[in-house]
Structure 1
Amino acid sequence: MRYEKEDINKAIEVIQSGGIILYPTDTVWGIGCDATNEEAVRKIYELKKRSDSKSMLVLMENPGLIARYIDMMPDVAWELIEVTEKPLTIIYPNAKNLAPNLLSEDKTVGIRITEEKFTSDLIRRIRKPLVSTSANISGEPTPGNFVDISDEIKNGVDYVVEFRQGDMEKKQSSSIIKLGVGGEIEILRK
């Protein structure tokens, strides 16, 4: 399956101008923006009707970039990234260089390396991490496919990516592991 050049170019244009997009990920459809843009992150919280005390995760396309956004990359993180066979979000301590309202109160951030082609190409071309949060109003069920996303979400973003809208394969949310400063591992979602 191939996406159209115009589709990714429009998504890039919207993100670079501080807008938010609705897009397919390697898990569920997500709402996203430039993870370093505090105002764009605020727009997502408002659309989702979600408290900014609940952090959102960040997608990257290359694990080598993680060190730019956290103080120290624990060795165990490299091992987890290498052995995982399904999407894995790792919550790292001491986040930096990201929008402050994106981080949790304890300054942690969840980062997932995406293997989804459209999203990987998008991140590579904007040269910034991409916010990813499920495409639903806070407290409502996570939609399994594009057709399950509410009109409120679809109409509330600045651009809806066309790629994979007709995909009916049910995707699962990622596993979530939290790493402590000393390399402690806490499994939050399998």
Structure 2
Amino acid sequence: MMNKARSMDLKSLIEALRQQQVIAYPTEAVFGLGCDPGSESAVQALLALKQRPWQKGLILVAADYAQLTDYIDDDALDDAARARIFASWPGPLTWVIPALPTTPRWLTGQYPSLAVRVSAFEPVRRLCLAFGKPLVSTSANLTGQPPARSADEVRKQLGAAFPVLDEAVEGRLNPSEIRDALSGGLIRQG
């Protein structure tokens, strides 16, 4: 029997994203599930797959800060907040920044802010640059299961045909630390 595992090339993954599909890709510590943040149907499919309530909000991961400016309120950041953020980026630190009023609720959930990260990890950067915008980023696992740390673990949880970028994670042990951009306060230990 032929192996139906879908290790997709970058072009195929970008096409899947454009068709509002959810994909899996390696991040700094675990595999992430991602989709087009501008597609409500793609985000709803991701939330349904994860059995995650929309109210929790999501993280966007980007190749550079400019990819985030359609979603976050840059004017809400003072010089100290900008200094904190840019001192840590690109890197594995996620910042919660006030969202623009136009940012969809399917991304922010019940919050007036959005969690965002500019990654230094090349597979994430390649995906975001090729797609031309940030990706939704949440751990690739079903509710109650551990986050996948390899493409094989993604396939075991989500199926052999799930579209996945089959590259190694960076090797960090914990998911990204999350901090509040305005106060610098810790939200989730990394």
State if a TM-score over 0.5 links the two structures: yes
Aligned residue for 1:3? none
- Change beyond 3 A, Cα 1:161–1:65: closer
The ranges of structure 1 where at least 4 consecutive aligned residues each deviate by more than 6 angstroms after the TM superposition are none
Structure 1 position 147, deviation (Å): 3.9
Contact 1:154 1:160 in 2 (8 A): no
Aligned residue for 1:49? 51
Contact 1:145 1:169 in 2 (8 A): no
Distance (Å, rounded) in 1 between the aligned partners of 2:39 and 2:121: 23
Contact 2:29 2:170 in 1 (8 A): no
- SS of residue matched to 2:85: helix
- SS of residue matched to 1:27: coil
Per-residue CA distance 1:3-54 (angstroms, 9 max, x = gap)? xxx6100110000111110111123110000111111000000001111111
Distance (Å, rounded) in 1 between the aligned partners of 2:102 and 2:130: 18
- Change beyond 3 A, Cα 1:127–1:77: farther
Contact 2:141 2:148 in 1 (8 A): yes
Aligned residue for 2:167? 163
Aligned residue for 2:19? 17
Matches for 1:27-38 after TM superposition, within 5 Å: 27-38=29-40
Q: What value does the CA root-mean-square deviation take over the aligned residues?
A: 2.4
Per-residue CA distance 1:65-105 (angstroms, 9 max, x = gap)? 33321123513343223333851000111345544312121
- Change beyond 3 A, Cα 1:96–1:21: farther
Aligned residue for 1:185? 184
Contact 1:31 1:44 in 2 (8 A): yes
Structure 1 position 111, deviation (Å): 0.2
- Change beyond 3 A, Cα 1:97–1:34: farther
Structure 1 position 141, deviation (Å): 2.7
Is 1:109 aligned to 2:126, yes or no? no
Aligned residue pair count: 179
- SS of residue matched to 1:185: coil
Contact 1:32 1:131 in 2 (8 A): yes
Distance (Å, rounded) in 1 between the aligned partners of 2:26 and 2:124: 7
Aligned residue for 1:90? 95
- Change beyond 3 A, Cα 1:39–1:175: same
- SS of residue matched to 1:118: helix
Contact 1:178 1:185 in 2 (8 A): yes
The one-letter code of the counterpart of 2:18 is Q
For structure 2, which runs of at least 5 residues remain unmatched after alignment? 1-7
Quote the sequence identity (%): 26
Structure 1 position 149, deviation (Å): 3.6
TM-score of the pair, normalised by structure 2? 0.82
Of the candidates 73, 81, 102, which is equivalent to residue 85 of structure 2?
81
